[in-house]
């Protein structure tokens, strides 16, 4: 059945008008997730603490929600996700609650808040639309990102890239990495939990012998494409974005099997205050239209059933991420200690 979608109607009013027609058309074709036209109107005051996210695309989503809900008074406090999580805990300890919602770009910060007992339990049935493995009682994933091994297609073929992340330490491949980057540290935390501290320390020391450091993971992917290194460690969307702007780029993605190298992390949102309004706001982020927009524009993985994955990425069901409670990634201090001991920080 044809219908005007959330973002299409806003584009007619001037918001997100630059969205390509092909993307707008694809939104209408999504099925299985709830449409914004079936969600309750948002009315009242809300304060959202927003971790930095995806070059302003999260901000565009929030602007669109505001325009659709003129009686919503949405105040936003922006900052680094970990810093905002620390602020929420400190405010709670001082007997103050300033945030109604927390939208974090990593699950480590989500874990900090849920472990402190500050997140409100989700209403019954709230997370049924989420894919299996991403249903939690006190927070909701919004979109996912998978760890990948971008490799230079002129220097390597896919079968030459190890499918065991631990094997990279002893390989003769030149490697690009961004040890100071939060996503890398979350990945390494997963390795520490899955493989143990001794094995992770040994891996760090081994990789560091043939690795070149970059400021961020986009820099890693660009270095791989230029042929500065054979392979790198990065979230999937950096490669997809590069290839979207340069279809003949000399880079492709390889995946490991059932280890930290193919960890699926997520952005997530939780409620810090009671009442229907915070949860109804969260439902907008899980709508078919917003999920499809973040897939098409940010190349993030939609975690609501019935919404297509980004172009150029296998379906999540075909990949083999490790079985890991993502909230455990909040325990970052031992990871940083290992990195310092290995001399990579």
pLDDT in tens, 87-119: 999 999 999 999 999 999 888 889 889 999 999
Q: What is the pTM of this model?
A: 0.84
C-alpha span between 98 and 124 (Å, rounded): 26
Phi first, then psi: give them for residue 91, nearest 5 degrees.
-65, -40
Residues 45 and 278: beta-carbon distance below 8 Å: no
Kindly tell me if the per-residue pLDDT of 328 is higher than 90.
Answer: no
Please tell me the distance from the alpha carbon of residue 174 to that of residue 155, in angstroms, as a whole number.
Answer: 11
Average pLDDT over residues 269-279: 97
Name the strand (E) or helix (H) holding 333: helix 333-342
Q: What is the per-residue pLDDT across 10-57, written as a single tens digit (0 to 9) for each?
A: 444 333 333 333 333 344 334 458 999 999 999 999 999 998 765 578
CA distance 146 to 157: 21
Mean pLDDT of 259-287: 96
171, two tokens: 């390989």
Query: Tell me, what's the pLDDT at 105?
Result: 86
Given a cut of 90, is residue 331 above it in pLDDT? no
Q: How confident is the model at residue 157 (pLDDT cuts 50, 70, 90)?
A: very high
pLDDT score for 332: 87
Residue ranges of the binding site: 237-238
Q: Which residue has the higher pLDDT, 31 or 185?
A: 185
Task: Please state which of the ranges 21-35, 63-77, 172-186 shows the lowest mean pLDDT.
Answer: 21-35
Cα separation, 121 vs 114, whole angstroms: 10
Mean of all residue pLDDT scores within the chain: 89
Half-sphere exposure (Cβ direction) of 295: Cα atoms closer than 13 Å:
29
pLDDT band at 273 (very low <50, low <70, confident <90, very high): very high
Task: Give the model's pLDDT for residue 233.
Answer: 98
Average confidence (pLDDT) over 201-216: 97
Q: Which positions make up the binding site for Fe cation?
A: 237-238
Handedness of CA 105, 111, 114, 117 (dihedral sign): negative
Is 146 in a helix, a strand, or coil? strand
**Pairing between β-strand 101-104 and β-strand 44-51 as defined by DSSP bridges:** parallel
E strands in the chain: 44-51, 72-79, 101-104, 140-152, 175-177, 211-213, 231-232, 234-235, 251-254, 264-271, 301-302
Taking residue 21's Cβ as centre, other Cβ atoms within 10 Å add up to 9
Residue 237's region, left for phi above 0, alpha for psi from -120 to 50, else beta, is alpha
Residue 299 clears pLDDT 90, i.e. is over it: yes
Tokens standing for residue 140:
């909701």
Identify the pLDDT of residue 54: 57
Please identify which residue in the block is written with the tokens 């492709």: 252
The pLDDT of residue 186 is above 70: yes
Q: Quick one: average pLDDT of 168-179? A: 97
Angle at 319 between CA 314 and CA 320, to 5 degrees: 170
Sign of the torsion angle spanned by Cα atoms 27, 29, 34, 37: positive
Structural domains of the chain sorted by starting position, each given as residue range(s) with its CATH number in brackets: 6-144+266-314 (3.40.190.10), 145-263+321-342 (3.40.190.10)
pLDDT band at 293 (very low <50, low <70, confident <90, very high): very high
User: What is residue 320's predicted lDDT score, i.e. its pLDDT?
Assistant: 92
Within 8 A by CB and 6+ apart from 10, the residues are 16, 64, 67, 68
pLDDT at 10: 44
How confident is residue 8, by pLDDT bands cut at 50, 70 and 90?
Answer: low
Strand duo 175-177 + 211-213: pairing: parallel
DSSP 264-277: EEEEEEEE-S-SHH
Cα four-point dihedral sign 24, 29, 32, 38:
positive
């Amino acid at each position: 059945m044809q219908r005007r979608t959330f973002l299409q109607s806003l584009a007619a009013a001037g918001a997100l008008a630059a969205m390509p027609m092909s993307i707008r058309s694809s939104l209408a074709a999504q099925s299985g997730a709830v449409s914004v036209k079936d969600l309750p109107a948002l009315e009242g005051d809300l304060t959202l603490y927003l971790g930095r996210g995806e070059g302003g695309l999260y901000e565009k989503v929030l602007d669109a929600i505001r325009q659709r809900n003129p009686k919503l008074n949405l105040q936003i406090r922006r900052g680094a996700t970990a810093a905002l999580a620390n602020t929420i805990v400190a405010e709670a300890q001082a007997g103050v609650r300033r945030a109604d919602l927390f939208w974090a770009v990593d699950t480590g910060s989500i874990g900090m808040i849920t472990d402190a007992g500050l997140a409100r339990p989700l209403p019954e049935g709230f997370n049924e639309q989420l894919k299996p493995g991403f249903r939690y009682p006190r927070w909701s994933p919004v979109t996912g990102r998978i760890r990948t091994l971008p490799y230079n297609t002129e220097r390597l073929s896919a079968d030459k890239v190890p499918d065991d992340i631990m094997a990279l330490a002893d390989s003769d491949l030149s490697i690009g990495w961004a040890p100071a980057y939060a996503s890398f540290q979350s990945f390494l935390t997963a390795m520490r939990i899955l493989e143990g501290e001794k094995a992770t320390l040994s891996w760090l020391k081994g990789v560091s012998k043939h690795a070149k450091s970059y400021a961020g993971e986009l820099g890693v992917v660009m270095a791989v494409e230029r042929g500065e290194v054979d392979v790198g460690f990065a979230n999937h969307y950096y490669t997809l974005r590069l290839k979207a702007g340069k279809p003949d780029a000399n880079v492709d993605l390889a995946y490991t099997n059932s280890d930290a190298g193919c960890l699926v992390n997520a952005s997530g949102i939780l409620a810090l205050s009671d009442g229907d309004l915070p949860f109804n706001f969260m439902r907008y982020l899980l709508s078919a239209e917003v999920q499809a927009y973040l897939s098409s524009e940010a190349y993030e993985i939609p975690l609501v059933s019935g919404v297509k994955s980004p172009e150029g990425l296998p379906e999540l069901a075909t990949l083999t991420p490790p079985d890991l409670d993502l909230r455990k990634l909040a325990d970052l201090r031992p990871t940083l200690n290992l990195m310092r001991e290995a001399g990579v920080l």
